[in-house]
Chains A and B, each alone.
Chain A
């Protein structure tokens, strides 16, 4: 076999306009979901660059919430301050995807200001 697919998963992303596309994500690189989304040309401010301080990488998990790592107190505190967060909300900067996350579906919710 020339190329092993075992460390690549597919996730589905819905942008702010409702456009949906599936992207391939390598799971053996040390990037957060926020960094992956930015690298995939999604418009995310990420003002604090991953410190869970600005919440501009707010995403709504439409499918696959159970396979994600649990939110830390810091992430929950930040989500709690958002006017538009709900039980499906996470901060993409705090998420590192693994092979367990195949099929993850999310919607980008973070503000652009």
Chain B
């Protein structure tokens, strides 16, 4: 078990700066992030894009900002669990928490700070009748074990790289593969699209372009999928499994299940200290909401500073917090 004062969920720019502010108050931090590297969106999505609204930097590339922040917090020796999603929080008898990761990591902490940015990227679900009915057993938003589909009839839906690649791969494993795409062409990699066309020409797969999904049907088990073609005619395709591959969209994920007050995919906080409705749990950065909220890195930094002033009482219940400027006091490393 990892022991720390503050567990920060999300290692983006705001989570990283929280380490600095916590460090000034002698509070140690452990960060956990679903991504395999620190930096959040900045490193994952736009590392080379310039940011213009960081004080003191007329322009700075996203990855450089992350690198500089890592340098800034190094004296406070933060520890990291990367590539693991937080699944659950368990409150302990003394008020402290266990933060439980998807791979079994347990972090014992006095305070939880959610700095999760956009949340987790989860598979996008298509809108079709009876989806929920078969979701647990016969609908697969990702292919974890291709062998599961050996000698099965399957329908794959989507037109991106993932749909094309899995169609090609599963054509050799499944008994029958049908690929359904709502458009009349693919934007995915030309190589993969070429392979799919080739398989269709040779009768290895069924390719249904310009078809729309309507519903899933069956009797306890998935038996068929109902589609309409361009002429709005009904098409029924027998199938045992349905694999919709429509990319990922940002969602709160497990955070939504923790009893926090949520408004439009964001966590409601008190602007006094960015506390949530649950004691010892704070939310800072893009993942929180309050009247006048602006999703700016800059605002997240401010929220981190105020949060730490409030969190201090849980880490050092017997001490009085005295605020000190770094220009007066310096940065005292751990």
Chain A residues positioned under 8 Å from B124 (CB to CB) = 55, 81-83
B residues contacting the other copy or chain, number (CB 8 A): 29
Q: Are B118 and A83 in contact (CB under 8 A)?
A: no
B247 at the interface (CB under 8 A from A): yes
| Residue total for A at the interface (Cβ-Cβ under 8 A) | 22
In the complex formed, the residue of B with least CB distance to A47 is B250
B45–A83 touching, CB < 8 Å? no
Cβ of B295 within 8 Å of any chain A Cβ, yes or no, is yes
Of residues 127 through 179 on chain B, the ones whose CB sits less than 8 Å from some CB of chain A are 127, 157-160
Contact call B159/A83, Cβ cutoff below 8 A: no
Which chain A residues lie closer than 8 Å to B125 at the CB level? 83
* B241-256 vs A, Cβ < 8 Å mask (1 yes, 0 no): 0001011111100000
For A51-74 the 0/1 string (1 means CB < 8 A from B) is 101111000000000000000000
Judge if B213 is at the interface, Cβ distance under 8 Å: yes
Chain B facing A: main interface SS? loop
User: A47–B262 Cα gap in the complex (Å)?
Assistant: 14
Picked from A49, A53, A78, A86, the residue with its CB within 8 Å of the CB of B182 is A86
Tell me whether A53 and B187 are in contact in the complex, defined as CB-CB below 8 angstroms, given that A45-B264, A47-B265, A83-B126 are known contacts: no
Q: Given contacts A45-B265, A49-B295, A54-B118, is CB(A81)–CB(B158) below 8 Å? A: yes
Residues of A within 8 A of B119 (CB): 47
| Contact indicator A81/B182 (Cβ below 8 Å) | no
A and B contact pairs by CB, cutoff 8 A, 8 listed = A45-B265, A53-B250, A55-B124, A78-B247, A80-B159, A81-B158, A83-B127, A84-B127
Residues of B in contact with A (beta carbons under 8 Å apart): 41, 45-46, 118-119, 124-127, 157-160, 182-183, 187-188, 213, 244, 246-251, 264-265, 286, 295
A: residues with CB less than 8 A from B are: 45, 47-49, 51, 53-56, 76-78, 80-87, 112-113
